[in-house]
Structure 1
Amino acid sequence: MALATWNEPTPTDASAGMIPESMQTKPAETSPANFPIGETSLTYTATDGSGNTGTCIITIIVIDIGDPIVTEYPDDTTIDTDSGQPIALYNWTAPVATDNSGTLVIVFYEINGVIISSPSYEFPIGPTVVTVNVSDPSGNSVADMFTVTVQDMEDPNITCPTNSSNYYSSISADIWVVHTDNGESFATVTWDLPSVSDNSGNTTFSEPSYSSGNMFNVGVNYTIVYNVSDPSGNENTCSFTIVVEDHEDPDITCPMPLTVSTANDANSGTATWVIDATDNVEVASLEEDSNANGSFTPGLNTTTSYSETVEIGQLTVNFTATDSFGNQASCSVLITVLDEQAPDIIGCPMDIIVNTTTGEAFAINVTWMEPTATDNSEETPVPVADYTSGDNMFAIGDTTVQYNISDSAGNFNDSCSFVITVEDNEKPMIVCPANVTMNYIGEAFGLISVSTDYGHPTATVTWDPPVTSDNSNATVTVVSSPFESGDLIPIGTHTITFTATDLSGNNDTCDFYIKVEDVEPPTPNCPSTVAGVTDPGSPNGTVSFNITVVDNVLIAMFATNYTLITPSSIDMVYYDFETTAVFPIGETIVNYTFVDNASPTGNQESCYVMVVIEGMFSLDNNC
């Protein structure tokens, strides 16, 4: 506050002069009076009788020129960094200060050019000067300084890797096993650098005795130690141990499947082969599960020769190669022993000749001594044929009985065969025909009578073929003699012999009896009427006329009821003759009867001629 004095204004009016107090308005303050720092306005007003108002304002300005008074500043201090941080958060007590203005002073701090108002700050590692500024609202100020020293007492953090290249397994978090490089007795091991951190943000590594990318020999344990420090000299270490082991299996090579043949007359064959085994360290042993003969020598690269005698069939020999670290690899040899020797057939039968079974076209149950067999496989194969002794059927002719034999390996022997010849020595059966089909007359006592063909001295005779059968069931050839069906057979009794012959040449006969009879009469042709006149000086008349007669056989005789006819006889099949005779006046019937020489009795036929003779009278001139 400040005490101020002033002269109050006196209001006047042009028309009324002085304005009475009652027409004035004044501030509460009267001179002298205390005023606060800053500006304070005092307003005076006056109003005349006409209502006009005048105003006067007095401004009181109080200026603060006194500095704040600080009774206590913060002291210098040393603190540790916050855990895991490169800073320390420090809260200090604000300075104690008063000011004549009676108002709160303004305090701010300047740290490394940064102005803050709160008494709290994150200080970096090391000393930091804090400038304290205290000012009042009028800008009066005082300043002082204190130092905050942050010390880093925290060790760096370091975490070693937990695996690496060639990693195989872990024994513990900081001990692990790596495997050797492929084909090598060492391991080239690389790993990530340890993970490090520090609250300061700055670290320094020390080089370990072994570096990432080094080669590490098998069978040795290596411990790698890393050391890290920060700028404040704080240190920390980590370590891990690498155990180099051989986990690479040996490389073993077996040959392709082997195929051998049995030795002659033996049931086994001998196979030979080579096993190659290599390892990056050493092949310590080579074992097999059979009885193969071989001599193994340990080493990096081994080649071992083996042989074994194996029976017919297949045998798998398994080989296991083991290195000095117990790693194993296996392979197999497949040995196939082929039996390529055919079995032997013993006691092959000789050829056999037999007759057909009576009434049959074959021979039944022919017997023979069946062969046996031996084989190098020690099997007892049985020869096999299409026919079995004592239970069979063989057709007429030659049949080859083939014995074949195979062993289990498929070897085949067909060297045994013999011929069974079935001969047909049985006659065929024949039954002569029972009738004929043309010109049949009748039958008596086995003799069949037939008639001659019309107009012919022979008979065309046909008959059913004879009935034949044969045990062979084959076609039987039938021949007839002296005539065959359909032949022209002359008049008379004939024996026809049928001969049946089978395919084997066996034959039998039967007789067939035919009698050819002529039952056809002659055919005469007489003129119906012959006219004549009496001979001169005679009561009779001589006439001639032609008669024809036809027959299938000779005409043996003819007869007439009239004498004195020429010719008196004929002996011809066909005859055309002129007959001459003397007939009395009037009508004379002449009967001609012709008889042929048919067997057994002649056939006859007649014809008639009427001869008419007329008298011829001549008158004598002496009458």
Structure 2
Amino acid sequence: MTRTWTATDECGNSTSHVQTVTVQDTTKPVLTITDPFFANVENGQTLVIQCRAMDKDWELPTLLDSEITISDNCGTPTYTMTQDVLEGTCSENGYFKKIVVKIKVTDLCYNEVNLNFDILVVDTIAPVFTRIPEDVTVSCEEIDKIFEISATDECECAYISSKDTTIAGGLYGNYTILRTYTAKDCCGNFSTYTQKIYVVDRSGPELISISSYLNGITNGDTLTRSCGEIEIPEWLHSDASKLMTAVDACSGNAAVWMDVKLSNQDACWNYGYLKLYTVTFNAVDDHGNPSVFMFYIKIEDKTPPVVRYIEETVCETDSTYPFVFDNCSEITYSFVDEPISGSCPQTTDYIRTWTFSDACGNTSYATQYVTGNDHKAPVMSLVDGPFKGELNGSVFKVKCSDWSEVDEATLLSWMGAQDECDIFKTVVKTFINNGDCIKDGYSKQINYVWFATDNCGNTSQFSLYIQLIDDEKPYFIPNAAEIYVDCESKIPMVRAYDNCSSVDLKVESYQVESNDKGVIIYNEKYIAVDGCGNSAVLTRKVYVDNKKGPIIYAPEVVCEGDAGNGKPYALDYCSNKPVPLKGEKSDKIYECDGGKYYEVTYTATDDFGNTTTMIQRVIIDDRQAPSLAFSYDFMAKYNFSPANPVIEVSSEEFNTLVNAIGKDAYVEVLDNCSVAIPIVKTQELLDTYCDEKLIHTDYHFAWTATDVCGNSSGLNLIVKMSTSKVPDMSFVPKDTTVYCLSKVPIIATPALTCGFVKIDTKVVNETPKANGDYDEVRIWTIENACGERYSASQTIHHLNNDASLSCSIIAPQVFCNSSENIINVDVTGGSGEYTYYWEVLNGSCHIISGQGTSQLKISIAFKTLQLKLTVADANGCTSECLVNVPCSLEGVDPLVNDQDNNQDSQYKVNSLSAGDYSLRPNPTTEQVTVEFATQKAGLIKIQIMDQLGKVVLMKEIEAVKGFNSEILNTSKFVSGIYYVVISSTSILHTMRLIKMN
């Protein structure tokens, strides 16, 4: 401070003097923290805060600028405060987050006050069991039972494991398990709980059905069967060991026996069923614990009695019961009569209602009309027909020719009956008696008797007699007066008929002379007399005109001296009896192209002078065989000559040629002496051989013709079939690639063509590679007729993963001690729809929702979460992506300012292959995702430096082998260029990052 002094006299003269005053301030400013939590913190102190992230109302204490007050005795001081956050691993560093707080207060004289302290967010409280299983006693088969148990932690997830210790018991099969549950958090804090499990053998063996007959039947079931069926199934007669087995967890298998008991029989009124079979399978283990598997077979009767027959109308005196059937039990009959007004004043009619009940109460009903008995029969009279109005017992005579049989329905229509008091039934019967025309005056008497009977058995009878008289002659069939036939065996027989009675027929026949030697004449007389003496006469003249000669049986052509066909003979045309046969050899010799023949004329004459002649050719000195030749059309079609009968065809033409040859239409035969020469055809396979390109197969076709003298000739044809010896393998599919679980269907085996005899298919799976990829080779091999084998294959490349399928987890900036954080994923490549499986590798309790979808909702405490996603496509291919999700402390600067350790560090940028490292987005605003791949798991350091080399952010993470992803918060960075350095003991890589606001 400068002070100026001035002295002035009365005359105004003045003198000045400058004085300098120096003020020294050696008192430091005063720092006051108003937040009670931080008010008494001392410089260099470490505040330990227990994480209570599981308490939704808990917040981490945070020192704000508004909670800091500064003052000075000489002026207004200033201050700076930095809060740098270091992330720790609780199990190694003892904290989740370390907040380094540095406060510096400076006055105008540079007096300063420094307050430096650390805040550690820790978890020192062990998890607490929220649900524990009580001590229990279980049987042997329940020792693997999972009991419900849960635990919570103040800060993170609690992981529960268990360990069993067995203590032997006093009895075999009895012991105690001490199951110690340990609930441990990620900081190593743990709690234990021991459950005592007393294991005893108190359960019988487990009865397990081993027969399909017991499928669907459970213990205590009731099977229902109807009476009348087979009540006990046939399979229940089998040995019990074939139906059921008994397995005991403590003492092994046990013997099984079966028992079937019948109960509750004949008490359907009480139980609702006829009878009950109880089927019991029994087994006992070594400790005497029994087991029973029981089911019931209930025999029911749900069917009411069936009325087989009941009279619709009965008389009041009728004591006959209706015929009713029930296949299960006895039937109880009862009825109720209800009187009704009838047409008869002397009696009363009823409607009778029958009730039929079986033992199970099933009921059926039927009704009858019951009439009273007036003891009077119905009155009958003829009301229709040719005898309408005639009286009972009337007799009528009718000619047989005028009478026709009358059926029952017509007879009933003639009769009318009346009964004013009862319902009746009319029947008619016919009685026929043969009469003696001379004594009785009729040939036959027909007696029609009608009976009318009412329901009470009162019967009336009406008779009518028809006497058939016969005054007409019998008649003949056939009745022609003259007939003409060529053989006696063909003369038709005459028969006599009569309209009334049988006929006695007498025949007179004698031969008369004929002017024609070849014709026989018979005069016939037929006399027919019927039972009443009426007679008829038929005279007939029969002309037998036999003009056909005998039949000669001899071959048309024979070789002289050949007796192979037997001796010729002749038979009569009509009687088929032998006829003398004469043969006359001709002296004339005929030439036949190198051979000779003469003729023998055979003659046969029957008794009527009819003669048959046949000329037989007898060949002599014939040593010339028949001539065989192919037709001109055949040779022209297949382009060959008789001099070289060889046809060359492809395999496709071969079958058509064989079909043509089989018809024999292409071969002609001629003989110098004989006619109608038979041809015999044969076929054989000659040879199969191969050259450099083709398969050749030769077939020999032969035709043979033999004349009657044994002279033979042959015709040969060679067919050469050629086809490529290399099979057509175009059916083999092309090579292909499939991914993961996708399969390629096997094609159907093609049919073999000519020249090929066998086809084989083989599938070879090669040894998988380290990454699971392998090749499947499908080989088709075809063998030709020469034994040569040709193969073609299809290679199917099975790739264990689809390289195009990839995923990238997109995580936003999240704050510590928060929930409802949304994580998304970007998936590309693969095939079809995706499925998602999320994992938090270091805290599964943080998943809130979204499992199985592309969006996950998580909570977070104070540690960085290791998030993993497995994506699968429609082929079953998978891709995994991982990301570390850190959390920021809200209101606290997350930037690391560790100048002492990093200020002088220098980094060299190494050139690595593209794709090993990436930053996205770049440029960025709020955050950047660092992605990199490593050959092995280990500790990785990630640092961000500004252009001066100052480290502004530093993180250490546990990287996994393969792909890694880490999100870094850049929201507090100023705009500019930064460098991201990834380093470990084996790698060092630097990338440029652009920050934009």
- TM-score, length basis structure 1: 0.26
Higher relative contact order (CA 8 A, sep 6+): 1
| Larger Cα-atom Rg | 1
The structure with the greater share of residues assigned to helix is: 2
- TM-score, length basis structure 2: 0.18
